[in-house]
Amino acid sequence: MTDILKDEFRSCQEKLYKALAKRDEIVAPSVVFGELLPQFKGNTKLLNSFLSEHKIKIEPLDVDSVIIASKRWMKYLKRKSKVKCPQCGHSLKAKEHFLYDFFIGSFALTKCDTILTRDRGVYRKYFPELRGYENCLNKTK
């Protein structure tokens, strides 16, 4: 959600505003609160006000979500360690993902109909059963 609040990702912002205008229920796991806090310069009162004003709910992660996230995180770690150059065999730098990406994906999988995100790759690859809000998980040309 932090990327969605940045002006450089207007298409994602428009999808968020569309969801708000349609009065869709927007819910995010508690780790998103931690991701958002720097956008509000650490001011929890201001962040809570923003969330309340936009009717965005923050909910704790449940054990089922954590289990799913952990299993898919382990799958990611296995794949990540095997990325090697096919010609020389040297390890290649893969895009780094953090455990909270997997918490967000598993939360969306267990608690929501869809996910609104700019980071399509991790969710398409490790959570293929997720649907993207307004097709946000579709590949762009």
Q: Write the pLDDT tens digit of every residue in 110-131.
A: 999 889 888 778 899 999 999 9
CA distance 42 to 30: 15
Q: Which CATH class is domain 2-135?
A: alpha beta
pLDDT at 87: 79
pLDDT at 97: 73
Region 7-22: what's the mean pLDDT?
Answer: 81
Domain extents for the chain?
A: 2-135
What percentage of the chain exceeds 90 in pLDDT? 48
Q: What is the pLDDT of residues 24-41, one digit of tens each?
A: 899 999 999 999 999 899
Q: What is the pLDDT of residues 44-78, one digit of tens each?
A: 999 999 999 999 999 999 999 999 999 999 999 88
Does residue 141 carry a pLDDT above 50?
no
Tokens of 76: 């990611």
Task: Share the mean pLDDT of the chain.
Answer: 85
Q: Which amino acid is at 122?
A: V
**Residue (of 4, 36, 9) closest to 19 by Cα position:** 4
